C-alpha cells in the first residue's frame, strides 16, 4: 500500500537502508518494480542523496529508514534539508504499536527527535490512513515554504498478512494549512512605486527564488529594470553569473562590489531571501539608507531580522510576474538610465577590489597550488556546465566565488546548516537524477571523510562522479578563524600526518584516483579525470595550507562595508 501510494505520487527513486522494523516495507520494495531503491551505506547518506536529488530536480526526495539508529542517523540530513527548505519525505519505520513506550529494541521517539527540524510529521495509527498521509506529506513538503516531512510507521501497520481497501485521493486540502499564493495588488503597486523612485536599487535573490522556479521571471524583470543583482549562497545560478548586471555572491565571503552595493543601496528588493546572519552582518548596521521590499512565501521570514517596508507575500514567481505586468502596463514607466550613475559606482568598486578570475592562467611551479586555481580550472574543464555539489568550509566558499553558475539547481550545497559530509551523497542523488550530466563534488579532506563510505554506493550503482578534493591537510575554515581571532593557535584543526592515501582508497572501491601536488600538473590532471567518463575519479589536490578565504566581513560588530580583503588588508 505504501509503495503503491509512493508510485502514485510519481516517486521514481527511494534512498534507504533496511532494518528490523522496516522488514515488511522492504519486502514490499522487493515485490514491485516501479520504484528504484538505492541502498546507501549510512542513513545520513540517504537523506543527503535524496536532498541532492530534490535540489537538482525540484521534485521531492524520498528516504526510507528503519527505527532507532536508522532514524537517528537520518536526523542530520533532515535538519540540512529543513534549514535550506528542501522538499523531502522521510519514512521512518518504528517498532510495533504495542511496544511503543517500552524501551523496545531499536525504539526511539522519532517524532519527538525530529520535531524541531521538520515542516511537519505524521505517525500512522491505522494502516488505512497510509495513502492519505502520503498524499498530505507530499503536499506539505512541496507547497508553501518547502521542507522535510517525517512519516513514522509502526511495524504492525505494515504487516503483510492484512488487506485493506486502497483509496488514493487525487487532491488534498488541509484546512489548517493555506500558504499564500499571490500578493496583494496594492502592495505590488507600492513596490513598483518604490522601484521607480529609487536611484540605487539592488535585487537580492536567494534560495526561495530557486524553490519557486522563478529564474526566468527574475531575468525578465531585470531586462526591464537593468539593476544590479546579487545572489545569496543558496541563490547562486538563479540569476546568470555571466550577466553584466550580476555582482556575485554577497555576505560573509561575498564580493566587495556586492556587499558595498547592498550597504549603499537606497532600495533592496529581497526575492526569496531571508536576511540570514551571514548576509546582514550586524543587523543594526545593515544597509542604513535602504528601503526594503521583501518577496517571500513565508510570513515568518518577513521582518524577522530586517524590517520590511513593503511585503509581498506569495510564491515569488507570482509576485515577480505581477511586478513585471505593472511595469509593462503603460502607467508605470521605468527609465533604466536612472540607474547608470549607480552602475558606474559599482563598476568602480569591482575594479578596485573585485575577485581575480584569471588565477588559473599562472601554471608555473613558483608557488603551491591555490584552491582558487583549482576551482577555476574545474570551471574551465567543465565549461561551466557541471552540477557542482560541495561540502562545508573554505573549499565551499571558493567554489561559490569562482565557479560561475548560469542556471539554477546546478549549485548544490548545505548553506544554512553547513553540514560536512553533504557533498558526496548529494552528488549521488544529482547523478542518479541526471545520468548524462557532469557531476562534480568539490570537497576538502576533512568533509569528504564524514561520508566517505558512500564510495561503495557509487560502485554499486556505477555513479561516475568527479570528486575534487582540495586538500590542505587541515580543517581550513576553522584554522582560518583561529589564525584571525585566536592568535594562530590551531586547536584540533589538523590531523598530524594521519590522512589516508586517497588515491589507494578510491582504487580499493574500484574507482580511479589521481594525486596532484604541482601547479604545472593541475590542468592536465583534471583534464584526465574528466576524460574518464565511465569512472568515478577521486582527484586529491594538495594546495597551499596557509591560504585564507577573502573577502571576509569583519565580525562581530561590523557592517557590510567592513571587509577583510587579505591577511593584513582591510577595505
Partner 1 sequence: MNKKNILIILENKPGALARIVGLFHQRGYNILSLHVDAVEDTSEFSWLENDLNIQLKPNEVSKMTISTKVSDALQTQILRQINKLIDVLYADEKK
Residues in touch with partner 1 (CB under 8 A):
111-112, 115-116, 119-121, 123, 125, 140, 174-177, 298-300, 303-304
Q: Do you find a cis peptide bond into 556, omega within 30 degrees of 0?
A: yes
**Closer residue to partner 1, CB minimum distance, 304 or 334:** 304
CB of 120 to partner 1, least distance (A): 4
Out of 44, 106, 376, 482, which one is annotated catalytic? Answer: 106
CB of 117 to partner 1, least distance (A): 10
CB of 293 to partner 1, least distance (A): 18
Out of 313, 477, 502, 552, which one is annotated catalytic? Answer: 477
CB of 312 to partner 1, least distance (A): 15
Alpha carbon distance 190, 208 (integer Å):
22
Nearest to 5 by CA among 96, 130, 179, 164: 130
CB of 181 to partner 1, least distance (A): 16
What are the DSSP calls for 366-389, one per residue? SSPPPHHHHHHHHHHHHTT-SEEE
**Closer residue to partner 1, CB minimum distance, 180 or 384:** 180
Alpha carbon distance 289, 304 (integer Å):
19
**Closer residue to partner 1, CB minimum distance, 20 or 179:** 179
CB of 77 to partner 1, least distance (A): 19
Pairing status of strand 387-390 against strand 267-271: unpaired
Placement of cell 528504484 in the chain: 36
Annotation marks residue 138 as catalytic? no
Residue 343, phi then psi, degrees to nearest 5: -65, -35
Alpha carbon distance 513, 483 (integer Å):
32
SS3 state at 246: strand
Q: Are 392 and 418 in contact (CB under 8 A)?
A: yes
**Closer residue to partner 1, CB minimum distance, 72 or 303:** 303
Out of 32, 34, 36, 105, which one is annotated catalytic? Answer: 105
Count of C-beta atoms within a 10 Å radius of residue 74: 33
Sheet strand arrangement including 569-570: 552-553, 563-566, 569-570
Annotation marks residue 460 as catalytic? no
Q: Are 269 and 565 in contact (CB under 8 A)?
A: no
Out of 43, 107, 381, 454, which one is annotated catalytic? Answer: 43
**Closer residue to partner 1, CB minimum distance, 123 or 212:** 123
**Closer residue to partner 1, CB minimum distance, 178 or 527:** 178
**Closer residue to partner 1, CB minimum distance, 297 or 370:** 297
Alpha carbon distance 294, 334 (integer Å):
20
Out of 59, 119, 135, 155, which one is annotated catalytic? Answer: 155
Alpha carbon distance 362, 351 (integer Å):
20
CB of 536 to partner 1, least distance (A): 40
Q: Do you find a cis peptide bond into 551, omega within 30 degrees of 0?
A: yes
Annotation marks residue 155 as catalytic? yes
Nearest to 347 by CA among 482, 248, 280: 248
Alpha carbon distance 512, 506 (integer Å):
6
List the catalytic residues.
43, 105-106, 155, 477
Amino acid at each position: 500500500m505504501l509503495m503503491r501510494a509512493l508510485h502514485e505520487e510519481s516517486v521514481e527513486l527511494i534512498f534507504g537502508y533496511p532494518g528490523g522494523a522496516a522488514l515488511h516495507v522492504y519486502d514490499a520494495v522487493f515485490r514491485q518494480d516501479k520504484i528504484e531503491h538505492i541502498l546507501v551505506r549510512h542513513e545520513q547518506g540517504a537523506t543527503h542523496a535524496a536532498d541532492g536529488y530534490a535540489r537538482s530536480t525540484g521534485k521531492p526526495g524520498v528516504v526510507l529508514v528503519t527505527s532507532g539508529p536508522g532514524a537517528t542517523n537520518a536526523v542530520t540530513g533532515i535538519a540540512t534539508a529543513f534549514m535550506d527548505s528542501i522538499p523531502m519525505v522521510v519514512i521512518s519505520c518504528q517498532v510495533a504499536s504495542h511496544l511503543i513506550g517500552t524501551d523496545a529494541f531499536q525504539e526511539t521517539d522519532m517524532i519527538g527527535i525530529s520535531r524541531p527540524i521538520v515542516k511537519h510529521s505524521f505517525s500512522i495509527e491505522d494502516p488505512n490512513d497510509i495513502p492519505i498521509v502520503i498524499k498530505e506529506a507530499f503536499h506539505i513538503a512541496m507547497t508553501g515554504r518547502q521542507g522535510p516531512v517525517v512519516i513514522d510507521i509502526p511495524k504492525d501497520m505494515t504487516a503483510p498478512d492484512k488487506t485493506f481497501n486502497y483509496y488514493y485521493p487525487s487532491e488534498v486540502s488541509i484546512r489548517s494549512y493555506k500558504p499564500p499564493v499571490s500578493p496583494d495588488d496594492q502592495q505590488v503597486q507600492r513596490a513598483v512605486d518604490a522601484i521607480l523612485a529609487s536611484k540605487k536599487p539592488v535585487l537580492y535573490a536567494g534560495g526561495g527564488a530557486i524553490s519557486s522556479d522563478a529564474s526566468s521571471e527574475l531575468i525578465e524583470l531585470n531586462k526591464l529594470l537593468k539593476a544590479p543583482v546579487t545572489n545569496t549562497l543558496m541563490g547562486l545560478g538563479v540569476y546568470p553569473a555571466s550577466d553584466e548586471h550580476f555582482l556575485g555572491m554577497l555576505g560573509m565571503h561575498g564580493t566587495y562590489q556586492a556587499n558595498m552595493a547592498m550597504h549603499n543601496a537606497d532600495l533592496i528588493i529581497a526575492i526569496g531571501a531571508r536576511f540570514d546572519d551571514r548576509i546582514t552582518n550586524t543587523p543594526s548596521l545593515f544597509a542604513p539608507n535602504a528601503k526594503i521590499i521583501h518577496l517571500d512565501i513565508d510570513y515568518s521570514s518577513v521582518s524577522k531580522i530586517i524590517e520590511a517596508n513593503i511585503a509581498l507575500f506569495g510564491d515569488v514567481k507570482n509576485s515577480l510576474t505581477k511586478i513585471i505586468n505593472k511595469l509593462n502596463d503603460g502607467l508605470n514607466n521605468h527609465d533604466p538610465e536612472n540607474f547608470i550613475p549607480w552602475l558606474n559606482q559599482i563598476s568602480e568598486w569591482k575594479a578596485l577590489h573585485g575577485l581575480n578570475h584569471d588565477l588559473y592562467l599562472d601554471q608555473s611551479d613558483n608557488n603551491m597550488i591555490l584552491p582558487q586555481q583549482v576551482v577555476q580550472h574545474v570551471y574551465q574543464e567543465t565549461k561551466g556546465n557541471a552540477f557542482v555539489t560541495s561540502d562545508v568550509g573554505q573549499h565551499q566558499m571558493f567554489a561559490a566565488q569562482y565557479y560561475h553558475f548560469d542556471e539554477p539547481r546546478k549549485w548544490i550545497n548545505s548553506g544554512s546548516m553547513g553540514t560536512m559530509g553533504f557533498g558526496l551523497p548529494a552528488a549521488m542523488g544529482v547523478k542518479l537524477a541526471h545520468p548524462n550530466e557532469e557531476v562534480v563534488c568539490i570537497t576538502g579532506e576533512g568533509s569528504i571523510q564524514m561520508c566517505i563510505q558512500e564510495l561503495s554506493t557509487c560502485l554499486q550503482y556505477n555513479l561516475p562522479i568527479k570528486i575534487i578534493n582540495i586538500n590542505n591537510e587541515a580543517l581550513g575554515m576553522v584554522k582560518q578563524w583561529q589564525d584571525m581571532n585566536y592568535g594562530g593557535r590551531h586547536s584540533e584543526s589538523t590531523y598530524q600526518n594521519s590522512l589516508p592515501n586517497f588515491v589507494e582508497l578510491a582504487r580499493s572501491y574500484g574507482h580511479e584516483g589521481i594525486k596532484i601536488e604541482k601547479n604545472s600538473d593541475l590542468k592536465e590532471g583534471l583534464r584526465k579525470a574528466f576524460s574518464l567518463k565511465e569512472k568515478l575519479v577521486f582527484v586529491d589536490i594538495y594546495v597551499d595550507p596557509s591560504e585564507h578565504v577573502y573577502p571576509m566581513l569583519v565580525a562581530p560588530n561590523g557592517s557590510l562595508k567592513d571587509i577583510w580583503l587579505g591577511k593584513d588588508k582591510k577595505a
